[in-house]
């Protein structure tokens, strides 16, 4: 006789039994109940919402046992570690479970929260995975001391591999490339082969990117008239740059002494004879933007962007790295911010963050739903609706796509408008009532 889960997969149970299953009320073991609920949550359109609600409140002891057991079905483990469904108390067990594949942890590391990063760095299994560590380096929530710890772990592993034999691994090569970069997040790489972003996105000065070049040419041609109208507007971040990066991002410019080309450090004089006029300040700023960086001076991403005109920033938006895109999406010039959304290397995780940002142009938030690829990502939709900066008409139009749990959360979100909250509560009650009738 087929098991209960097999009958559910084959849709052979009557509707009332399916409803019991979605409530976790079947007389089966806790582990099988969880497996049934995950299957319904992922694959059943009728009872999926109810199953997700049941799983969210499922007994923690049983959930922890499933997260720890290496024999737990991969679909259950994948559901548990998904950022949408993750319960923080389960994360340490999931990280140590050998049945959670390294590829799944790499995907999780891209958008891990502060709490998740701390749990990952406390996991012995994660510390032994170079690919996961490399991906974590690109996470915007990673602190400098944590980045230093990751670098040390990578170097230790590389040394161990070198001692054990002359086998050349891609991960160890990446670690050696990291040695060529500065420890300071406010500086950019010196060596042209060093990674400018994450381990998965290695960009070199010498390697052409035909796809990005083609996208850039098409974008400039399409917006030729608008570019002429914009003139030479400097970079000006929406909401202020320190708000996003923090004061620690702006170190004093570092100077590297290059033999035969010494650059003396500049200092602030003890006394200032006269304050510059506004015109002098503006002129000096414009000249500084256009002037190339002195030889031997390491620039951070913001300094690099500040030197570029609009076309230069568009090129960087389409061909740059993740850190540069995070700055350029906040550019007050719409053409530059829009170019970020066209970047060939733009990841889903980045768009998810853009959709939740309050310091971008409203036009950017309107542009995101214009891309069908972005709208296939539920987190993007959810973040847009919950973003108080999202235009009201757009938020109302996207709300119909939200799951019942997110509607409930949105109805109590005091950051969004009363209209959004009231409609979210109304939709939540309607969906809850519809689910209870089935």
Each residue of 21-34: pLDDT tens digit?
A: 999 999 999 999 99
Q: Same domain, yes or no, for 227 and 155?
A: no
Residues 225 and 147 in one domain: no
Residue 270 within a domain? no
Domain containing 362: what range?
A: 210-258+283-437
Average confidence (pLDDT) over 156-162: 67
* Residue 258 three-state SS: strand
Smallest Cα–Cα separation from 250: which of 307, 187, 295? 187
Question: Which CA distances in Å does 304 have to 70, 244, 281, 350, 438?
Answer: 48, 17, 19, 21, 58
Please state, for a pLDDT cut of 70, what percent of the chain lies above it.
74
Better-predicted residue by pLDDT, 140 or 240? 140
User: Is residue 419 over pLDDT 50?
Assistant: yes
Q: How confident is the model at residue 436 (pLDDT cuts 50, 70, 90)?
A: confident
SS3 percent helix, strand, coil of the chain, rounded to 5, is 60, 0, 40
Q: Which residues pair with 297 in a beta bridge?
A: 255
Q: How many domains does the chain have?
A: 2
Provide the whole-model pTM: 0.46
309 has a pLDDT exceeding 60 = yes
Q: Is residue 17 one of the residues assigned to a domain?
A: yes
Are residues 230 and 360 both part of a single domain? yes
The answer to whether residue 325 is domain-embedded is yes
More confident residue, 143 or 288: 143
Cβ of 388: how many Cβ atoms within 10 Å?
A: 12
Per-residue pLDDT at 80? 94
Q: Is 278 exposed, middle or buried (0-12, 13-18, 19+ CB in 10 A)?
A: exposed
Q: Are residues 107 and 244 in the same domain?
A: no
Q: Looking at residue 79, what is its pLDDT?
A: 93
Residue 276 lies in a domain: no
Amino acid 373: pLDDT: 87
Question: What mean pLDDT do residues 65-76 have?
Answer: 94
- Whether residue 172 contacts residue 158, with contact meaning beta carbons closer than 8 Å, is answered with yes
Same domain, 238 and 321: yes
**Dihedral (CA of 133, 139, 144, 146) sign:** negative
Give dist(CA 144, CA 147) in Å, integer: 5
State the pLDDT at residue 9. 87
Kindly state the average pLDDT of the residues 35-58. 91
- Is residue 360 located within the same domain as residue 427? yes
Quick one: 310 and 413 in the same domain?
yes
Considering the domain architecture, whether residues 355 and 238 belong to the same structural domain is answered as yes
Alpha carbon 410 to its chain's center: 22
Residue 75 lies in a domain: yes
Please tell me whether residues 214 and 299 are part of one structural domain: yes
Q: What is the pLDDT of residues 285-296, one digit of tens each?
A: 455 555 555 555
Q: How far apart are CA 34 and CA 342, in angstroms?
A: 40
- Look up tokens 């024999």; give the residue: 71
Angle at the Cα of 306 from the Cα atoms of 305 and 310, rounded to 5 degrees: 70
- What average pLDDT does the segment 171-188 reach? 38
pLDDT at 243 over 70: no
**Residue 153 and residue 250 in one domain:** no
pLDDT in tens, 321-374: 999 999 999 998 999 999 999 999 999 999 999 999 999 999 999 999 998 889
Four-residue CA torsion sign, 240, 241, 242, 246: positive
Q: Is residue 418 part of a domain?
A: yes
Mean pLDDT of 140-155: 86
**CA–CA dist 20, 51 (Å, integer):** 10
pLDDT at position 120: 94
- Is 381 in contact with 409 (CB distance < 8 Å)? no
Cα-Cα end-to-end distance for the chain: 27
State the pLDDT at residue 208.
63
Which DSSP category does 71 fall into? Answer: T
Boundary of a domain, candidates 132, 156, 178: 178
Contacts of 169 (CB under 8 A, 6+ apart): 130, 161
Q: Within a domain: residue 271?
A: no
| Confidence band of 185 (pLDDT split at 50, 70, 90) | very low
Specify the pLDDT at position 317: 93
Same domain, 215 and 303: yes
Given this model, what pLDDT does residue 71 score?
95
Quick one: 366 and 228 in the same domain?
yes
Per the domain annotation, does 345 fall within a domain? yes
Task: Say how far apart CA 6 and CA 3 lie, in whole Å.
Answer: 5
Among 104-108, 217-221, 258-262, 321-325, name the one with the lowest average pLDDT: 258-262
């Amino acid at each position: 006789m087929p098991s209960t889960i097999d009958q559910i997969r084959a849709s052979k149970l009557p509707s009332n039994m399916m409803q019991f299953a979605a409530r976790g009320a079947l007389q089966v073991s806790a582990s099988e109940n969880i497996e049934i609920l995950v299957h319904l949550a992922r694959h059943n359109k009728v009872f999926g919402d109810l199953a997700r609600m049941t799983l969210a409140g499922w007994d923690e002891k049983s959930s922890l046992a499933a997260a720890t057991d290496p024999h737990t079905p991969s679909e259950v483990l994948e559901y548990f570690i998904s950022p949408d469904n993750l319960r923080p108390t389960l994360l340490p067990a999931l990280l140590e479970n050998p049945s959670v594949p390294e590829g799944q942890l790499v995907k999780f590391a891209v958008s891990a929260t502060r709490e998740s990063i701390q749990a990952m760095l406390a996991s012995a299994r994660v510390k032994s995975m170079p690919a996961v560590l490399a991906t974590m380096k690109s996470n915007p929530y990673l602190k400098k001391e944590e980045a230093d710890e990751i670098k040390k772990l990578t170097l230790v592993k590389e040394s161990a591999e070198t001692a054990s034999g002359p086998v050349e691994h891609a991960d160890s090569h990446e670690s050696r490339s990291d040695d060529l970069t500065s420890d300071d997040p406010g500086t950019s790489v010196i060596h042209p082969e060093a990674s400018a972003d994450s381990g998965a996105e290695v960009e070199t000065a010498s390697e052409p990117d035909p796809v990005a070049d083609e996208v850039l040419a098409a974008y400039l041609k399409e917006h030729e008239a608008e570019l002429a109208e914009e003139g030479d507007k400097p970079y000006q971040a929406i909401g202020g740059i320190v708000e996003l990066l923090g004061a620690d991002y702006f170190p004093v410019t570092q100077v590297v002494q290059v033999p035969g080309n010494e650059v003396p450090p500049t200092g602030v004089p003890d006394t200032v004879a006269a304050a510059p006029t506004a015109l002098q300040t503006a002129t000096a700023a414009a000249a500084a933007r256009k002037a190339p960086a002195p030889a031997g001076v390491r620039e951070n991403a913001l300094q690099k962007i500040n030197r570029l005109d609009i076309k230069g920033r568009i090129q960087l938006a389409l061909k740059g790295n993740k850190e540069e895109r995070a700055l350029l999406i906040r550019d007050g010039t719409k053409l530059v911010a829009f170019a970020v959304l066209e970047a060939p290397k733009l990841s889903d995780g980045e768009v998810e963050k853009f959709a939740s940002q309050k310091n971008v142009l409203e036009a950017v938030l309107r542009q995101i739903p214009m891309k069908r690829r972005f709208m296939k990502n539920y987190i993007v939709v959810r973040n847009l609706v919950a973003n108080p900066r999202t235009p009201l008409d757009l938020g109302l139009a996207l709300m119909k796509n939200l799951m019942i749990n997110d509607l409930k959360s949105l109805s109590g979100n005091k950051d969004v408008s009363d209209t959004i909250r009231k409609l979210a509560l109304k939709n939540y009650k309607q969906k809850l009532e519809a689910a209870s009738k089935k």
